[in-house]
Amino acid sequence: MSDQGLEVFLDELATSNESVTQAASLGRAEVQDVIQITEESHPWFGCLLIVAEVTLVGVKAYLPQVGSENGTQNHYSDFSFQQFQRIGRAVVLRP
């Protein structure tokens, strides 16, 4: 790779990392945020999920399922920023 090609690659990498940080800082979502699916055509419309990962185009979030035969299982799906609304931060309270 030429020096110029490497420079372009590093600029693109820095921009993509900044974009993820900017998306999170704009209040769109952060890891451990609770979101609600607002796209009416989506099968999970109305569901509350917890964000596991923020990407350039949206989030990967999960729906915890408690009490299944195999214990707790999380169901993951990817959502664009237009498909959900951020509700707030998920906090686990201990007695």
DSSP codes joined into one string, 20-60? HHHHHHTTS--TTEEEEE--TTSTTTT-EEEEEEE-SSEEE
Q: What is the pLDDT of residues 22-78, one digit of tens each?
A: 554 445 789 999 999 999 999 999 999 999 999 999 999 999 887 767 667 889 999
In degrees, to the nearest 5, what angle opens at C-alpha 53 toward C-alphas 48 and 57? 90
pLDDT at residue 64, as a whole number: 83
pLDDT at 92 over 90: no
Least confident range from 1-15, 56-70, 81-95: namely 1-15
pTM for the complete prediction?
0.66
Domain 3-89 has CATH 2.30.30.140: yes
pLDDT at residue 91, as a whole number: 80
Domain ranges of the chain: 3-89
pLDDT at residue 17, as a whole number: 54
- pLDDT category, 82, cuts 50, 70, 90? very high
Tokens 């931060």 correspond to 89
